[in-house]
Chains A and B, each alone.
Chain A
Amino acid sequence: MDINTILADAKARFSHNSAKHYLKEKYNSKLTFADQGGLWKADKETISALNAFDSEKVVIMDTFENPVEVDRKELLRKLTSIYSETMSAWVAELKELEGKR
C-alpha cells in the first residue's frame, strides 16, 4: 500500500518534535571527523578557539580529550567547511519538514 494512503487511513499527524530530534541525531553525527591525528567536532566552540590564535601550529584538545598539535589554518578550513555544509543541509531539511502537516 502507498505510504500516503497508510498515513491518511491512520489519520496520522506529522510529529514536529520527533522530526527535530531525528534531524539533530542525523546532522550532529555528520559534524564529527578525524584529521591530523585527532577527532574533531565541527562546532562553534572549536572554530572560535582556532580563530582566537594566529600561530601556524596550535595544541588543542580533541573530542577524545587528548591534546593534539595541529596545523591551525588547515583544521580551521576543514571545520568551517564541514560546519557550513552540514548546517546548510540541516536547515534545508528542517524547512522541508516544517512544510509537512
Chain B
Amino acid sequence: MTKGAILFAFNSPKFDYYAMAEHTAKRINHFLDLPVTIVTDESSLDSKTAYQFDNTIIIEPDRDNRRDWGVWINKGRYQAYEMSPYDETLLLDVDYMVNSNKLLTCFELYDDFCCHDTTSFAMHPKAAQEVLSGFSFNTLWATAVAFKKTDRAKQIFDALEMVQKNFAHYANIHHFISNTFRNDYALTLALRLANGHTLPKRDIIPWNLFHIGKNTTVYANNDDEFNTEYTILFDNWQRGKIRKEYITVKDMDFHVMNKENFAELIKHG
C-alpha cells in the first residue's frame, strides 16, 4: 500500500500558493516521511526552485471564485481522489503547518476517510465551533483529510463534486451565502450525503484542528528549515486597550488562517 500527500496550489494575484505548497511539502517529507504530489497550473509553476515534487499534475483550474481580498482558486478539490497516485492519501491545505508526525495516526485509525469536525483556536480557548448557518450543521474541515482508494471514498468525492457544482442550491437549503465557494462547507454536506445523512464517528479525526486565527501572528523561533518552535502573538482587547499576549508552541501542527502571516513565515524556513 503506497502512502503520500497531495496539495492543490494555484497562485492568485495576491498570494504565491505554489511557494506555500513547496514549504509544506518539504515539511511533509521531513516529519511524515511521505512523498508529495502537487496539483497546479502552468502559471503557478516556479521554475526557479530546486525542490522536486513526487509528481506534478498540471490542470486548468476553475478560477471562478472570490474572497474579500481577491481571486481565490480553491475549486476542484474533489479531483484529489482521481489524481492521487497513492493508495492512501493525505489531502492538506498548503497553509497547514506540519510540525510533528501526528497526521500519520490518521492512517492507523480510519476506515477509508477522515477529516476534522471540531477546531480549537490558539488564543481563543472558548471560541465557538463554526456552523454553516443557524439552521444547519457544524462545519467539517477540508484542511486535513485522509482517504483510501475505496468505492466509499470515491462516493464522498463524487458528492463533493456534486455539491461544488450545485453550491448555490445547497446554500439556499442550508441558509449560507454562496458567493464564495468553500471546500469546508462542501465537505460538510458531501460527507453526510455519502453516509445517508448521518455523520459516522469513524470519519472524524479524533482531535481538534488547531487554528491560528486571523488577529493572531505566528513567528518562527529560529530560522531552521525544520524549526518546530513557534511564538504566537495576540492582540487581546480588554476595556478598550490592547494587551499583547503570547504563547510558544512546539511539535504541534497548526493551520494558519492569515495567509499574509503564512507567506511571511515561509520566508524564514
Contact = CB atoms under 8 A, between A and B. Distances in A.
Contacts of B232: 18
Nearest to A29: B207
Contact of A25 (B120, B234, B248): B120
Nearest to B209: A25
Contacts of B170: none
Contact of A18 (B245, B250, B252): B245
A52 interface: no
Interface in B241-269: 243-252
Nearest to A35: B108
A39 to B, nearest CB: 5
Interface residues of A, number: 30
Contacts, number: 84
B248 A17 contact: no
Given A14-B245, A33-B105, A25 B123 contact: no
A49 interface: no
Contacts of B250: 93
A7 B252 contact: no
Contact of A39 (B206, B219, B236, B247): B206
Interface of B: 102, 105, 108-109, 120, 122-123, 125, 201-202, 206-208, 210, 219-221, 231-234, 236, 243-252
Given A26-B251, A65-B201, 18 more contacts: A3-B220, A6-B233, A11-B244, A12-B233, A12-B245, A13-B246, A14-B247, A15-B234, A15-B245, A21-B122, A25-B120, A28-B207, A30-B102, A32-B207, A34-B105, A39-B109, A41-B206, A64-B202
